[in-house]
Amino acid sequence: MEVLKYFLNNKYTESKSENYYEVYNPSTGELIARMPKCTTEEINEAIISADAAFKKWSATPVLKRVQVLYRVRELMNERLDELTLCAATEHGKVWEEAKGDVLKAKEATEHAISMPSLMLGDSLLDASTGYDTVLYREPIGVFVGMAPFNFPAMIPMGWMVPLCLACGNSMVLKVAGATPMTALKMAGIYKEAGLPDGVLNIISSDRVDSEALISNELVKGITFVGSTSVGSYVYRTAAKYGKRVQALCEAKNHALVMSDAHIDRAAAGIINAAYGCAGERCMALPVVVAEEAIADRLVAALKVQAEKLIIGCAYDKSSALGPVYSAAHKAAVTEWINKGIKEGAKLILDGRNVTVRGFENGFYLGPTILDYVSEEMSVGREEIFGPVLCVKRVKDVEEGL
């Protein structure tokens, strides 16, 4: 088992913390690493380092900043399989999904490379008599990124890091304790690409010490992706300290299937949307609203297609549905299924007792379908974040909307 190090000043640094997150391989159930919950002193050191690096990095011309990202992109291409395997191993999403996770990080990096155009300002002569107006877009300072467990490459190393750095800011990235390895591996790529010391530091911490990240006077803004409960806390706390903040939180997405739909085609699209990444994504499709006239046919088609999904080890390229990311989350999703049945939903397909030969200790759940779900049921309102599809029945389009 590996004891991971946090990333400070372009060096993997041993933490003095006595508290750790446990990192599992969800496919096997094996404990593979421990990630330190950095101490308050280590968090502050990461912020001070980022602030010191900001002064020189922000003065670096944007054309030179994006040259670093060009090299990051090339190294990501060269190590695509290595990064894919890392994401699949620590999170549990199947090979093509893990590959897509890494490729989306690369795609966002490519977008950040266009920053010389994106940061262009604006001007207007004679906005008023004797006055011209000029708009500049300037680097601001140290930003904190708070990443979730479910996309260990795309969100921290795609949505957050490259755009922040291309703008001339520096970042302290707080990775998810359960899935830190891909981002840490990619930090090494940034170093190899020529990123100066301190521009990117990566830590992990518990919720108590997270306030130290948000409240520090050197931090100018926070970007967060995760649960609504934590996101609300981050937003409130950041606002209290006068910080710039964005918080992207949970969703309960619905699809409306009308009576003139092509049933098999609709079912195929729904299966992919509902069970991709084992439902552990905010853009998953956990609810289908079906017109009563075609509901029975749709549910039957969904069951047939869901039963065809190959459940297996994340890094077996034949697998279509991998494990959920932790034993605790498996238990939580199982409880959601139990709750739905108690609330009156009809169990069409049960994924609670799935096992995979050779991987009996993995955190597997099969595709589950609950029919006759209503708005009064908690499973119909709240995000489950697992491979569970709820079907709500309506008389017509107007009721569905």
For residues 181 and 277, membership in a common domain is answered with: no
The confidence score (pLDDT) of residue 304 equals 98
pLDDT band at 264 (very low <50, low <70, confident <90, very high): very high
CATH of the domain at 69: 3.40.605.10
The confidence score (pLDDT) of residue 170 equals 98
Domain of 394? 254-400
Average of per-residue pLDDT across 62-66: 98
Q: Express each pLDDT in 74-90 by its tens digit.
A: 999 999 999 999 999 99
pLDDT band at 123 (very low <50, low <70, confident <90, very high): very high
What percent of the chain shows pLDDT beyond 70? Answer: 100
Residue 269: in which H helix or E strand, if any?
Answer: helix 263-275
The CA-atom distances, in angstroms, between 360 and each of 1, 257, 326 are 20, 37, 14
For residues 338 and 314, membership in a common domain is answered with: yes
Please say if the pLDDT value at position 104 is more than 90.
yes
The confidence score (pLDDT) of residue 273 equals 96
CATH of the domain at 303: 3.40.309.10
Please say if the pLDDT value at position 61 is more than 80.
yes
Write down which residue in 225, 248, 271 finishes a domain.
Answer: 248
For residues 190 and 266, membership in a common domain is answered with: no
Phi-psi region of 100 (alpha: psi -120 to 50; beta: other; left: phi over 0): alpha
For residues 241 and 159, membership in a common domain is answered with: yes
Distance, CA of 238 to CA of 364 (rounded, Å): 37
- Out of 249, 282, 313, 390, pick the active-site residue: 282
For residues 88 and 178, membership in a common domain is answered with: yes
Instruction: List CB contacts of 267: < 8 A, sequence separation 6 or more.
Output: 298, 301, 302, 304, 305
The confidence score (pLDDT) of residue 206 equals 87
Please say if the pLDDT value at position 212 is more than 90.
no
The confidence score (pLDDT) of residue 108 equals 98
For residues 244 and 261, membership in a common domain is answered with: no
Write down which residue in 218, 248, 278 finishes a domain.
Answer: 248
Q: Express each pLDDT in 283-299 by its tens digit.
A: 999 999 999 999 999 99
Distance, CA of 370 to CA of 287 (rounded, Å): 9
From first CA to last CA, the distance across the chain in angstroms is: 51
For residues 223 and 267, membership in a common domain is answered with: no
Distance, CA of 401 to CA of 388 (rounded, Å): 22
Distance, CA of 86 to CA of 91 (rounded, Å): 8
Write down which residue in 248, 277, 293 finishes a domain.
Answer: 248
249 is catalytic: no
For residues 276 and 203, membership in a common domain is answered with: no
